[in-house]
Chains A and B, each alone.
Chain A
Amino acid sequence: MKLFGYKPTSTAWLGLAIITVFILVAVFADVIAPYSESESVGQTWDDPSWDFLLGTDNIGRDMLSRLIYGARMTIGVALVTTVLSFLIGTTTGFLAAVGGTVIDQVLSRIVDVMLSIPLLIFALIILSVFGSSIMTLILTLAVLDSTRVFRLARAVATNLVVMEYVEAARLRGEGLWWIMRREILPNALPPMISEFGLRFCFNFLFVASLSFLGLGIQPPYADWGGMVRDNGKAISFGLPAPLWPALAIAMMTVGVNLVVDWILSINSRPSGASAEM
């Protein structure tokens, strides 16, 4: 079977399967989950049983139901963040490449300074001022993450700007916006798509880490990072409670990475080269 004209490798199929299942779970959470997100139905950290397939959490809520609802929140926030980050990053990156030296210099220097503070530290600073509602979380992460997208978009677009067809479009008298959208964007898509996967993974882990620190998605919403935090103490009793949500996070990122690796191999870029924090 082929996908977009290419034959996925077996590991890519595995990745696609994981992503599909997780997204279906997230979308149909209400239908699948046996209990509600916030209802206490058992004792603290009950063992897995037929009633509670993965046991219960620190205040007796069904672990499996929380995981299912958590998929919605965790994946949703990361996805919205990544889409927003690409909108900002690609637009500014293309603008820097197409718009001339002054715009390029101003944008690039701002991004350089922003890149010289570690993302997590920067995010912590901003969240300490604004507090962490879901909106500020998404906006903060998207703006910070867009600096990475900017770098790639600018680099790709700089190589495209010198092409004859862009020159031709300029001579025809097309505007900046038209050139960015119709000439640069279609040709810049292949590297940007695999980058989207990588940035999603990064944002996904990032949201999970922030929630784990208690600074991301706030209760009563279930999210995987927060669930690890809530159930962390169970580990010292030898109970695997915090490992379930952590495993869910791990599976999701492994799944996306497998697909990204396959896309990268199509574009024949060395894998691991775009690894960035």
Chain B
Amino acid sequence: MLKTIAVRIVLGIITLWAVSVLIFAATEVLPGDVASAILGQGATPETLAVFRHELGLDRPAYVRYLEWFFNALHGDLGIAMTNKRVIVEVIAPRFMNTLFLAGYAALIAVPTSVVLGIIAAINEGKFIDRFVNIISLMTISVPEFFIAYVLILYLAVQFEIFPSLSTVFPEMGFVEKIYTTALPAFTLTMLVMAHMLRMTRTSVLSIMSQPYIEMAFLKGLTRSQVIVRHALPNAAAPIISVIALNLAYLIVGVVVIEVVFVYPGVGQFMVDGVTKRDLPVVQACGLIFAGAFVGLNTIADVLAIMVNPRLRHPR
């Protein structure tokens, strides 16, 4: 088991490295030169050459990659092109903000969706199951900003319960922060809950067709007893991996939500960087998001191995 987990973690690290290559390649090696993209059509060859030299673009790509990669390993993500600020200093507090928001949403979403999923599975086909199913299908289908704006219109503008903009400051107290970020957190919760809920329901139900479940029924157990004692432990692995996948999705969903609520996180910073075509910023944010994504996926797999007895031995 330990060996399987170790292998998975090493794989995760290799993936992370491959991702860094891909991010770098996507921004630097693809056809279309960054310097000419930024300076536009009117640039003379001389200004282009000077600008390329300033960006270090006149050196071979692999040298620039190695330098970027090792600097990133030391926690140096470079300097922003537009305002010459050190990226790490700008990104670190924003990253904490993003983590705070994502964690906040996850703390509400995970328990609620697992419990609702199990309730839906116990009452399969009954009213509550259908109701939960329809609501979750709707939240999957709807764009994130739709949920966000509906929440703002009713909870912030008409009833003025929560603020519509979630500007947070480092000096803010914890309770105040929870209150200010309530709307983006609710929106994110609704976004990720649907998948987790449906998957919990589906995996519990798929195990319900196994012979040992029939045996449990024949012993005379009630439906809820069978689900909680016999089906749930075996459904745990897929549920855990879906939860981790959705937490990874949370990280992406955060981008749009941060823009809607003007929340000072990494997502907003990245969108800003893309608009201004500030490549070092985009690379740094991309690396952080991809790193979090790969990390969560690795954790998902490790947890799934630890929970599921059948996965403990490699085939």
Contacts and interface: CB of A to CB of B under 8 A. Distances in A.
Interface of A: 112-114, 116-122, 124-131, 201, 205, 208-209, 212-215, 225, 228, 232, 235-238, 240, 242-243, 246-247, 249-250, 253-254, 257, 261, 270-273, 275, 277
B143 interface: yes
- Give the secondary structure class of B's interface: helix
Contacts of B293: 116-118, 121
B143 A205 contact: yes
Interface of B: 15, 18-19, 22-23, 26-27, 30, 32, 34, 37, 137-138, 140-146, 149-150, 152-153, 156-158, 164, 195, 198-199, 201-202, 205-206, 245, 248-249, 251-252, 255-256, 259-260, 270-271, 273-275, 277-279, 282-283, 285-286, 289-290, 293-294, 297
Contact of A124 (B157, B245, B282): B282
B93 to A, nearest CB: 20
B26 A126 contact: yes
Contacts of A212: 143, 145, 256, 259
A201 B202 contact: no
B256 A213 contact: yes
B16 to A, nearest CB: 8
Contacts of B252: 118-121, 277
Contacts of A130: 30, 32, 37
B152 A117 contact: no
Contacts of B195: 272, 275
B140 A129 contact: no
B251 A118 contact: yes
B149 A250 contact: no
B22 A117 contact: yes
From B22, B141, B201, B255, name the one whose CB has the most chain A CB atoms within 10 angstroms.
Answer: B141
B27 A249 contact: no
A243 B157 CA distance: 14
A276 to B, nearest CB: 9
11 contacts: A117-B23, A119-B252, A121-B252, A125-B282, A129-B279, A212-B145, A235-B153, A249-B142, A250-B143, A254-B141, A257-B140
Given A118-B249, A215-B271, A243-B153, 14 more contacts: A113-B15, A117-B290, A130-B32, A205-B143, A213-B259, A214-B271, A228-B146, A238-B158, A246-B143, A250-B142, A272-B195, A273-B199, A275-B198, A277-B249
A272 B256 CA distance: 23
Contacts of B23: 117, 125
B276 to A, nearest CB: 9
Contact of B286 (A114, A125, A253): A125
B3 to A, nearest CB: 21
Contact of A113 (B19, B141, B156): B19
A131 B255 CA distance: 19
A144 B137 CA distance: 25
From A125, A225, A246, name the one whose CB has the most chain B CB atoms within 10 angstroms.
Answer: A125
A246 B149 contact: yes
A61 to B, nearest CB: 19
Nearest to A206: B143
Given A118-B289, A124-B282, A232 B141 contact: no
Nearest to B202: A270
A248 to B, nearest CB: 10
A128 B255 CA distance: 15
Contacts of B289: 117-118, 121
A243 B141 contact: no
Contacts of A112: 15
A126 B282 CA distance: 10
Contacts of A250: 141-143, 146
Contact of B202 (A124, A129, A261, A273): A273
B202 A236 contact: no
Contacts of B37: 129-131
B275 A214 contact: yes
B30 A129 contact: yes
Contact of B149 (A205, A209, A235, A273): A235
Contacts of B137: 254, 257, 261
A243 B149 contact: yes
A120 B250 CA distance: 12
Contacts of A122: 26, 286
B256 A201 contact: no
A201 B141 contact: yes
Nearest to A249: B143
A125 B283 contact: yes
A129 B37 CA distance: 7
A273 B206 CA distance: 11
Nearest to A129: B27
Contacts of A275: 140, 195, 198-199
Contact of A209 (B19, B140, B144, B202): B144
A122 B26 CA distance: 9
